[in-house]
Structure 1
Amino acid sequence: MSEQSNRCAHRGGKPGTEGHKPREDHCRFHSFASLAVAVSTTLRPPLLIGNVELQQSSLWPTGKTQAMIHLLLAALLGGVLMPPAPPAVWEWPTQGPHRILRDFQAPATPWGAGHRGLDLQATGPTVVAPLGGVVSFSGDVVDRGVLTITGPGGERVSLEPVKSALQTGDWVHSGEPIAELEGGHCPQLCLHVGLRVGDSYRSPRRELGVNLRAVLLPWEIQALG
């Protein structure tokens, strides 16, 4: 154990007092730094002398063990360093908990398969305008009702399946009730929210104040990518 670790272990104070919080934060940072150094030392590559490879330890982790250590370290540090969710720009359009039932999946081609929006859980039928703008479409598409709002920046937000008395050209304000949900899109009541900027669809997670998904891949998979 290092001298710094001994100081963190034996220096005390009255728990819960604000005067000792900086020291606690410092010791917590030191603990994570020590973990990072320990793992990086364990994963240090072998020495190469000419064409001869010298292993520095008989316990050198390989394959799945190495990937698991990497994921463990990333998970530990990620829990501390994960940035907060971005502030919401839109109003959440459904009633009930803010929960995504199905995420956005960009299509490989403009006409390819995908999921061009988010499916949001709803506990009631009322739908409010996520942003202010003008109604640019209100009607049926195939077998479902669709309401599209064009925002001040030209972005188009589509809500479905809904029933609305609004007509093309009507103005709406953010948070204003604008439609009622209809069933059939999800096994439970839900609202599909699509965002189109220019000719491209993209996820409205940021506008709704929801963190983008982070995916950690083992080193073996990253190397193949």
Structure 2
Amino acid sequence: MGPWPASASSAELRNPAGGSRAVPQARLAWPLSPVPVVTKYFDAPETPYGAGHRGVDLAAVPGQDVLAADAGVVVFAGLVAGRPVISVDHDGGLRTTYEPVEPKVAVGDQVYRGQVLGSVLAGHPGCAIAACLHWGVRRGDEYVDPLALTGEVGEFRLKPWGGGP
């Protein structure tokens, strides 16, 4: 897979295993509109098969439209472990995945940024509300934080808090 286009602005994505990779800012659009509340954040696994959360969970309502985060080709629309999943390949080696989603697209369909891919279904494990959309992104074999590719998230530093007023 080739490098990102030279014209793209970039930010650093930090890999917990060490190193960093430049990726374009605001490369992807949000898959839900309006911009949703994040109910569970990305937690990169330390090893390829280790524990972690390989995407983000976004607050949704059952039946809400799921939108393509960028132009691409649908490479999967079916069941994984009994849950309906859609995966889309994009230029630059990115693949976005959305679940649980009732698909309105089929494998091989070309989609445009913002196109409806399907609708959110209730029943995502660990979702404390009526429905959550799990949104994942990979570049090659590496999972990356989808929020870092929306241009909405920067680097955060936590300060110690003494618990006082």
Same fold (TM over 0.5): yes
Residue correspondence of structure 1 range 52-63 to structure 2 within 5 A = none
Unaligned residue ranges in structure 2 (runs of 5+): 1-23, 161-165
One of 20, 29, 46 as aligned partner of 1:108: 46
The alpha carbon displacement at 1:92 in A equals 1.5
Q: Greater strand share, 1 or 2?
A: 2
1:195 aligns with 2:137: yes
Q: Which has the larger radius of gyration?
A: 1
Root mean square deviation, CA, Å: 1.9
Which residue is 2:15 aligned to? Answer: none
Give the whole-Å Cα distance in 1 for the aligned partners of 2:56 and 2:34. Answer: 16
Which residue is 1:128 aligned to? Answer: 67
Give the whole-Å Cα distance in 1 for the aligned partners of 2:149 and 2:158. Answer: 24
Give 2:80's aligned amino acid.
V
The alpha carbon displacement at 1:98 in A equals 3.0
The alpha carbon displacement at 1:87 in A equals 5.8
Give the whole-Å Cα distance in 1 for the aligned partners of 2:147 and 2:33. Answer: 17
Give the whole-Å Cα distance in 2 for the aligned partners of 1:97 and 1:193. Answer: 13
Distance 1:209 1:138, change over 3 A: same
The alpha carbon displacement at 1:213 in A equals 4.6
Give the whole-Å Cα distance in 2 for the aligned partners of 1:161 and 1:203. Answer: 19
Matched length? 133
Give the whole-Å Cα distance in 2 for the aligned partners of 1:157 and 1:87. Answer: 16
The alpha carbon displacement at 1:125 in A equals 1.4
Which residue is 1:148 aligned to? Answer: 87
- TM-score of the pair, normalised by structure 2: 0.73
Contact 1:94–1:121 (CA<8 Å) still a contact in 2? no
Query: Percent sequence identity over matched residues?
Result: 41
Give 2:26's aligned amino acid.
A
Give the whole-Å Cα distance in 1 for the aligned partners of 2:114 and 2:145. Answer: 20
Which structure has more relative contact order (CA 8 Å, sep 6+)? It is 2
Unaligned residue ranges in structure 1 (runs of 5+): 1-85, 219-225
Give the whole-Å Cα distance in 2 for the aligned partners of 1:87 and 1:106. Answer: 19
Which residue is 1:209 aligned to? Answer: 151
SS at match of 1:153: helix
